[in-house]
A and B are shown apart, each in its own frame.
Chain A
C-alpha cells in the first residue's frame, strides 16, 4: 500500500516584482521536497521562518499548485481544494457573524449535509472538542483557545481524511496550548485521521509528532525526518521532563540551529539589497 500523502520532488516558485529594477523575478520558496506521510500518521513540520512550511500546506490543501513535481493524495495528484482535507488556520478564520454552532454548521453546509441533520451534528462536534454549553456564543465572546477549538470542530465536521494545521496553537498561552495538544492527540487517536501539523515550537513538535520533518532554510528542502519513539503521550505523567523527551528535543534543536542562523543571514542580505 502506498503512502497517504506523497511529495515527489516538489518545487514551488513565486513570481515577484522587484521594487528597485521593476523586473519580474522568480522566487523559489521550496525546492525538491520529497516526503511521504502514512495513512493515520501524525507528522509535524518544523523549519526556520520563511522556509516554505505554509507553502507546503497550501499545496496539500489545493490552494496553490506546484511549479514542478507532484503532490499525491491516495496516489492521485491534487488538483484543487476538497473536503477530503480539512484546514485549520492559525488565525482561526471563524465567521464572526455566526455562533460557535453556526461556524461548525458552515463546514456541514459545505459538505452538503441536509439542513435538518446539521444542528445535532454540529453540537456533537462541539461536544467532542469540549465546548458544549457554548453553542450560542459568537467568536468575539470566546477565548482564543475556544475559538481554535471551534475551528477544529468545523474541520472535523465534514469528516476529512487529512487534517492540515498551520501553527494552530501559536497564539495561545502555555496552559491552553498544552490542554489543546492533549485534546488533539485524543481526537486524532479516536478518529484515525492523517495529521500534518506545522509548528515553531520544538517542544510541541516532539510532544505531538510520530515523526518530525525538519526543513532547511529557504528554499526549503526536507533536511531530516526524525521518528519520535515516545509512545502514548497522554498515558505518561510529565512526559515533557523525561530524559528521552529532552534527547529528542535536543536532536531537533541541533538540526534546526544551523538552518535558523542561515535563514537569518539570508534575511539580512535581502534587507541590505
Chain B
C-alpha cells in the first residue's frame, strides 16, 4: 500500500482540506455584503428619485405622472382599505392555477414528445401551428367559448404558459448528451430506468428555463386578460383606475404587479438553483 501511495504523490497533494481556505473576517464580510446591497439598489433609488423630482420640478405633467410619494400614498390607502389584497388575491389565484396546470401538463407531455418519435410526428404539426399563434390573439375565442368568468382567464394563462415549458422540455430531452445515452446503453439501462437515471436529471436545467419563462408569461397574459373583462384583479384595478382618472392608484397597481413579477421570478430562480446546484457556475 505504501508503494501505491508513493507512486501517486500528486494525489495526496490534491487531497482537499477543509481548513486550508480561510474565510474572510466577519467585519470584512459584512462590509462586502453591504457594498453589494448598495450597488444593487442604487439604480432603483435613482429611478425613484427621478420619478419623485421630475413632476415636482414641472419636467413632466404631474397629473399623468404623479410624484412617487403620492403613488406610495395611494398604494397605502389601497392596502389599508383591503382593496389591494382582494385584487392581488384574485390575480394570484388565477395566474398560479394556470401556471401550475401548465407545469403539470406540459412537462410530462414534453418528455413524451421529446422521447417518442411517433408522438412527435403525430403532434409536431399541431404544435407548430399553435406555438406560432399569439396567446392574446386567442383571448376573444376563450371568452366566447368559456365566458368571461374565471375559467377563461385561467385557461388563457394555462395556454400561454404551456408553450415555453413544452418547447423547452422537448428540446431538453432531445439535447441530452449522446455520450450519456451511450453510457446508459453500454450498461444495459433501458426503459423506465434510463428515463429516471439519465434523461430526467439531464433535462432539469432546460425544463426550468421554460418554467421560469412561463412564470413571467403567466403574469403578463393575466394582466392583459383582466383588462378586457373582469370585476377583480390587478389588471382590472389598473384599467378601472385609469378609466376613473385615479392616476396615483393606477401607478400603485402597476408597482404591485412589478413587485409580484420580481418576487415570483426570484422564487423560481431559487428553486432552479436548488435543483441544478451541480451545474458549472456560469459567469460567477
The answer to whether A and B interact is yes
- Is A7 engaged at the interface, CB distance under 8 Å to the other chain? no
Residues A97 and B278 in contact, CB atoms below 8 Å apart: yes
A93 to B7, CA, bound (A): 27
Cα distance, A52 to B278, chains bound together (Å): 36
Determine which of B15, B179, B182, B189 lies in contact with A133 in the assembled complex, contact meaning CB atoms within 8 Å. Answer: B15
A61 at the interface (CB under 8 A from B): yes
Given known contacts A92-B179, A130-B8, what 6 new A-B pairs fall within 8 Å (CB)? Answer: A63-B186, A83-B187, A97-B202, A106-B187, A106-B197, A137-B16
Question: In the complex, are the beta carbons of A87 and B186 less than 8 A apart?
Answer: yes
A96 to B14 alpha-carbon distance, docked (Å): 21
In Å, the complex CA distance between A87 and B179 comes to 11
Alpha-carbon distance A127/B237, docked complex (angstroms): 65
Interface SS of B by simple majority: helix
**Partner-B contacts on A (CB < 8 A):** 61-63, 80-83, 85-87, 89, 91-93, 95-98, 106-107, 109-111, 130-134, 137-138, 140, 146, 158, 175, 179, 182-183, 186, 234
- Tell me the chain B residues, 1-26 only, with Cβ under 8 Å from chain A: 4, 7-8, 10-11, 14-16
Tell me which residues across on chain B come within 8 A of A130, comparing CB atoms. Answer: 4, 8, 11
Q: Do B197 and A109 touch (CB < 8 A)?
A: yes
Identity of the chain A residue whose Cβ is nearest the Cβ of B183 in the assembled complex: A93
Report A110 CB to chain B, min CB distance, Å. Answer: 4
Majority secondary structure of chain A interface residues (helix, strand, loop or mixed)? loop
A207 to chain B minimum Cβ distance, whole angstroms, is 15
Which single member of B11, B183, B279 contacts A96 (CB below 8 Å)?
Answer: B279
- Residues of chain A within 8 A (CB-CB) of B188 are 80-83, 110
> What B residues does A92 contact at CB under 8 A?
179
Across the two chains, which residue of chain B brings its CB closest to A80? B188
Q: Give the interface size bracket for B toward A.
A: 20 to 34
Q: Report the nearest B residue to A90, measured CB to CB.
A: B179
A93 and B187 alpha carbons, distance in the complex (Å): 12
Given contacts A91-B179, A179-B10, contact A61 B278 (CB under 8 A): no
Interchain nearest-CB distance for B118 vs A (Å): 22
Q: Is the CB of B16 within 8 A of A133?
A: yes
Q: Are B185 and A96 closer than 8 Å at their CB atoms?
A: no
A96 to B185, alpha carbons, bound, how many Å? 17
What are 26 of the A-B contact pairs (CB < 8 Å)? A61-B186, A62-B186, A63-B186, A80-B188, A81-B185, A81-B186, A85-B186, A87-B186, A92-B179, A96-B280, A97-B201, A97-B276, A97-B278, A98-B278, A106-B187, A106-B197, A109-B197, A110-B188, A134-B15, A134-B16, A140-B278, A140-B280, A146-B14, A179-B7, A186-B4, A186-B7
Chain A positions within 8 Å of B183 at CB level: 87, 89, 93
Give the distance in Å from the alpha carbon of A87 to the alpha carbon of B7 in the complex: 26
A93–B279 CB distance below 8 A: no
> Is the Cβ of B179 less than 8 Å from the Cβ of A110?
no
The answer on a CB contact under 8 Å between B10 and A95 is no
Cα A131 to Cα B125 in complex, Å, equals 51
Min CB gap A61→B, angstroms? 5
Q: Measured between alpha carbons, how far is A179 from B16 in the docked complex, in Å?
A: 20
- The answer to whether A93 touches B179 (Cβ under 8 A) is yes
Q: Which of B10, B187, B278 has the most CB of A within 10 A?
A: B187
Measured between beta carbons, the chain A residues less than 8 angstroms from B180 are: 93, 95
Given the complex, which residues of A lie within 8 Å of B185, measured CB to CB? Answer: 63, 81
Shortest distance between the CB of B213 and any CB in chain A (Å):
22
A89 in contact with B182 given A96-B279, A179-B8 (CB within 8 Å): yes
CB distance from A72 to the nearest CB of B (A): 19
Residue of A nearest to B280 (CB): A140
8 Å CB contact of B182 from A93, A182, A186? A93
**Cα distance A87–B188 in the bound complex, in angstroms:** 11
CB of B198 within 8 Å of the partner chain:
yes
Nearest neighbor of A164 in chain B, beta-carbon distance? B186
B8 touches A183 (CB 8 A): yes
Give the CA-CA distance A39 to B276 in the complex, in Å: 43
- Give the complex CA separation of A92 and B202 in angstroms: 16
User: In the complex, are the beta carbons of A95 and B8 less than 8 A apart?
Assistant: no
Q: How far is the CA of A171 from the CA of B179 in the complex (A)?
A: 16
Residues of A within 8 A of B279 (CB): 96, 140
Partner of A63, one of B4, B182, B276, B280: B182
CB distance from B242 to the nearest CB of A (A): 49
In the assembled complex, the Cα of A130 lies from the Cα of B278 at a distance in Å of 23
Contacting A at CB under 8 A, from B197-241, are 197-198, 201-202, 204
Identify the closest chain B residue to A87 (Cβ).
Answer: B186
User: Is there contact, CB below 8 Å, between A96 and B186?
Assistant: no
Taking the closest CB of chain A, its distance from the CB of B203, in whole angstroms, is 11
In the complex, what's the smallest C-beta–C-beta distance from B54 to chain A, in angstroms?
48
Closest residue of A by beta carbon distance from B201: A97
Q: Which residues of the other chain, A, contact B179 by a CB distance below 8 angstroms?
A: 89, 91-93
A-B interface, 6 closest residue pairs, ranked by CB to CB distance from nearest: A110-B187, A93-B183, A87-B186, A140-B280, A133-B15, A93-B179
